[in-house]
Structure 1
Amino acid sequence: MNEVENNALFWQKLDSLVLSGTLKIEYPKGSAHERYHNLIYPVDYGALSDATSPEAEKVYAYKGSENTNDVTAIAVTTDILDKDCLVRLLIGCTEEESARILEFLNQTEFQKAILVRRVNTVPSWAIND
């Protein structure tokens, strides 16, 4: 199978996560990355600040220009310098902003990213959820 099994109910849960938290912008659009000053954030970037458990990881997000809190996509990144794999939310991002975020995340040879865009279909196995 070459496609991700995309589930509208997953996107609804992400929307609920965003709506139940507060997005704290750490890097406004146009600001430079703290370690790599040549990397300029194409949209606002920050983290949801309302984790409910001490071991919860931060939920990082890009906030686009659309006047909505809907999650429009997720970016999955892998970084060989930091030895990690992260998921970042794209909230209210236009297609152009999503493309610029993907370009931003793929600028270096050490980190690469993919985007999973939102769909509104429910797979047959999830109909009773």
Structure 2
Amino acid sequence: MPSSINEAFWEAIDKLVSESRIVIDRPKGSQHPDFPSIVYPVAYGYLSGTTSMDGNGIDVWVGSAFSRTVGAVMCTIDLLKKDSEVKILLGCTSNEKAMIYDFHNHSENMKGLLITRE
């Protein structure tokens, strides 16, 4: 696949992020509202004014090296909800990307694929 197509994807997602307000509704270390045993390893929220496949804002993980340039995306499948989503990773270190990957692959019902920017 031509690299220009890949770069066009990253440029488009960067534009989406730059034109949106980031809302963090689950700070690092907070518990999932429905499953208290699940703790968010990195700040988690959404892009205000956007719509994801679940009808809510596009999900975003914001790491400790905060940057508005997208470093990766996580494609997820939830077998219980029978849905899929794309989650944006901003300013995440390699360690934070690994924690996010583990977060989305912690059960048989949730699987994620991490796609990093080259």
Deviation at 1:66, TM superposition (A): 1.0
Q: How does 1:39-54 map to 2 (within 5 A)?
A: 39-51=38-50
For 1:26 and 1:67, the matched residues in 2 are separated by 16
For the pair shown, which has the larger CA radius of gyration, 1 or 2?
A: 1
Q: Quick one: distance in 1 between partners of 2:7 and 2:17?
A: 16
**Structure 1 equivalent of residue 78 of structure 2:** 79
Alignment of 1:26 onto 2:25: yes
Q: Secondary structure at the match of 1:114?
A: strand
Q: Which residue of 2 aligns with 1:100?
A: 99
Equivalent residue, structure 2, for 1:122: none
Cα RMSD after superposing both structures = 2.0
Identity of aligned residues (%): 39
Shift of 1:6: 6.9
Listed as ranges, the gaps of 5+ residues in structure 2 are none
Q: Which has the higher strand share?
A: 2
Q: Which runs of 4+ in 1 moved over 3 A?
A: none
- Report how far residue 51 of structure 1 moved: 3.0
Please list the CA deviations of residues 6-61 of structure 1 after superposition, one character each: whole Å capped at 9, or x if unmatched.
Answer: 71121111111101000100100000111111111111100111238xxx752110
**Partners of 1:58 and 1:48 in 2: CA distance:** 6
Provide the TM-score with structure 1 as the length reference: 0.81
How many residue pairs match? The answer is 113
Higher relative contact order (CA 8 A, sep 6+): 1
Q: Give the distance between the partners of 2:92 and 2:23, measured in 1 at CA.
A: 17
Q: Match of 2:16?
A: 17
